[in-house]
Every structure is written in structure tokens, then in C-alpha cells.
Amino acid sequence: MYEVNTEKSVFESWKLGNLTLKNRIIKAATFEGLAQNGVPDDRLIHFHEKFAAGGAGVVTVAYGAVNEDARTFDHQMCMQDDRVNGVLKKVTSAIHKHGAAASLQLAHCGMQTRYSKLSSKPFSYSASWGLNPYGLLSGIPFMRPMPEKVIEQTCDDYAISAKRAVDAGFDMLELHMGHGYLFSQFMSPAYNKRRDKFGGNLENRMRFPRLALRRVREAVGPNVPIVVKLNLQDGFEGGSTLDDCIEASKIIEQDGDASLLVLTGGFSAKSPMYLFRGPSAIKPLIAIQKNLIAKLVYTLAAKKFPDMPFKEMFFLDDAKKVREAVKMPIALVGGIKSLANFKTVMNEDFDGIVLGRTLIHEPDLPKIYESGEQSTSGCISCNRCVAHIDSDDGVICPINVEMASEAA
């Protein structure tokens, strides 16, 4: 039975492997949308520096695609492009200047692609054959099974991308095995119908992500902490369950290649609001689209984006079951906004608190909370920031923009 340590403080320094972190607050890997043609510009530096200056202990650069076919968006960073090196070095320097650690998330979208600027369409690889509702926006209506030779190459791409990130000054790495992206698709029984060594029971369905994780560990050595982001549940019938997550966590712990689990939830065409909770993002998503076909597709799919009741710490109950099952460090995401609930999460013996929307709204919230100036966040979890993943101007908090406009 896991023994709970109730003496943790969110503002205390702690060690993740050999890396000392100044506090237990982690800026989540929220997609920035600041990499036109796969290469980020200086806006990425300013975007992340404000979270470091605001007091987060770890700042995570999001959704670095490990190859061209791994991209969901045209304005998503591709780690295979040599031109990313210079900007990433500036990003890590800006984060380090404020005493925070820099982390980079590596990912492959699998079937969840709308990347339209390749000379040919993306392959829309997944675990198995099937319809790809997400790909309708870019004329890719089907997903197809990734061949074993491509699985091997993709694992190598993860290792190459990881080495590039560490060479650019990143202190940590995150492998995205959650939401509804490629590794999640392989791990989910809803998507993985394979009959080879990559399908069947959970251990086989995890073979590909575990192989990639091992390659990354071999590429960066034993001293770089590696975070694994994992779904507690997919959020729809037939998908991965909490029991799957518990067993997957045990396997990852036993393998010994990961340093920290970040527990999250599914995000796919089957359950687009399960991850976020709160008001539906569909109206702002429709409004921000420039393409009439995209507007039409989102309009027709509106029923897939229901309002979902929001409560703080909405993943806590599920995450506690995982906490009881493994001893490795775990960080929790999911509507953790008030200082009181920071303390609640710590008292449940989680090792870190991962903040997304809350910090997009108030980047300096960690410093404000630590100073005692306030104990609640101004973020209302309206999900309007979510719609800006489709904006060429990057992800913002629209409420902040409106408040600044009114004050001008």
C-alpha cells in the first residue's frame, strides 16, 4: 500500500532524478501555434518566458512533432527541421533566466492531422484501419495502420528529436502518450485492432510507446528526467479505462525509463470536451475558422462538443487510484485553480501540479499565490482559449485581450 506524505508544499524545491526544481508547479504543454511552416519564431520565446517569470518551476514547450507526418497543424513545430535549433536555444535561455527548468513535449498526432502543406497528404497513420473524422478538415477521411518499419523509424525520430532538445538546453522531456494522439491510439482498445505484436492485450498495445520511450532514454542518458503524459481514461465507451491506466502506470514504473507521470484525460473526435470540462468550445471554434469548409464541418459536429460540468480537480478521484498503485512521482492536471486546492493535491501526495488554462490567463499566478496577495484564480474555464489552437496568432486568453482593450 502506498504511504501518503502529507508534508509536501507546492512552493518547496524538490528533486526529480538529479534535477532540482524550485517548486512543484508545472506549466502544462498547451499548444502555442507559433511555428509557421514548422519553425517557431521569437514569439515562442516571449510566450514561455512569461510563465518562468511568473514563478512556475517547470515550463513546458508543447507538441514538438518528431517528424513531418507527426504534425496536426501547419503552425506546429517540427523537430526534424534544423532551423528550430536557434529559437529553442533562446527559449531555454529565457526560461533559465528566471530559475525555472525547461521541458519539451515530443509527440506524434497519428490520425489526428489537419496538416495541409505537404506536397502530398499526411499518411494519417494510427494503430488500425478506420474512419478519421478529424481528418475530414483536410481531406484525410481514413486512418491506416502504421507498418512495423515505420514504427521503428518513428522510434528513431523520437530519439533524434530528444537529443536535439537536450542539445538546445532543455532540462527535461515529455513524451505524449495521452489525449488521442498516436501512442494513445495504440494503447486504446477502441483504435487498436491489430493482430501482430503491437495489438491485443495492454502490454502489446503499449509495445510501441515503450519502445520509443526506451530509445529516448538511450539517446539522452540516465540523468535527463523524462515525463510521460498518460490518459486516466479516454472518456468514451470502448476506450481505455482507469484500470488500463493503472496497469499502464505499473508497466511504465517497472520499465524504469520514465521519471514522472502526468495524469490527464482523453481528447479526440469521440470526446473532445472530456479533457477540458466547462462550456463547449464549439462556438468560438467556428468563429475563428477562416475556411468555409472547416466552419461547416465544425457546425455539423457541434453535438460532439457538449457543455460538461466543471469542478476543480476533476481528475483527482481517478488519479488517486493510480497514486495508490505506484510509487513513482506523479503530477496532476485538470482544473486545479485555487490555492486551497493546490494544498489538497499536495495532501493527496502528488508530486506536482500541472496548470494550463489557469496560467494562460494569469502567468504570474504562482508568485501571486506564494506572496499571499490572493488565493483564487481569475480564470473562469470558459474554454475560449482552446479555440485559438486554430489561430495563426497563437493561443491567447481572449478575456485578457478584452480587458486590455476596455482599459485602453
pLDDT band at residue 263 using 50, 70 and 90 as cut-offs: very high
- What mean pLDDT do residues 320-339 have? 98
Residue 269 has pLDDT above 60, yes or no: yes
d(CA 305, CA 301): 7
pTM, two decimal places: 0.94
Residue 116 has pLDDT above 90, yes or no: no
Residue 154 has pLDDT above 90, yes or no: yes
pLDDT band at residue 7 using 50, 70 and 90 as cut-offs: low
pLDDT band at residue 212 using 50, 70 and 90 as cut-offs: very high
Residues 14-271+309-379, CATH architecture:
Alpha-Beta Barrel (3.20)
Residue 3 has pLDDT above 60, yes or no: no
Q: What is the pLDDT of residue 291?
A: 80
**Residues designated catalytic:** 181
pLDDT in tens, 345-357: 999 999 999 999 9
Q: What is the pLDDT of residue 407?
A: 61
> In the block, which residue shows the cell 475558422?
289
Residue 385 has pLDDT above 60, yes or no: yes
Give every CB contact of residue 179 below 8 A, 6+ residues apart in sequence.
229, 231, 264, 265, 266, 267, 268, 275
Q: What is the pLDDT of residue 2?
A: 40
Q: What is the pLDDT of residue 122?
A: 64
Q: What is the pLDDT of residue 4?
A: 46
Domain boundaries, the chain: 14-271+309-379
> In the block, which residue shows the cell 480564470?
379
- Which has more confidence, 388 or 159? 159
Q: What is the mean pLDDT of the chain?
A: 93
Side chain identity, residue 267: F
- Which has more confidence, 118 or 48? 48
Min mean pLDDT across 127-131, 257-261, 381-385 is at 127-131
d(CA 210, CA 194): 17
Q: What is the pLDDT of residue 131?
A: 84
Give every CB contact of residue 177 below 8 A, 6+ residues apart in sequence.
183, 184, 187, 209, 228, 229, 230, 231
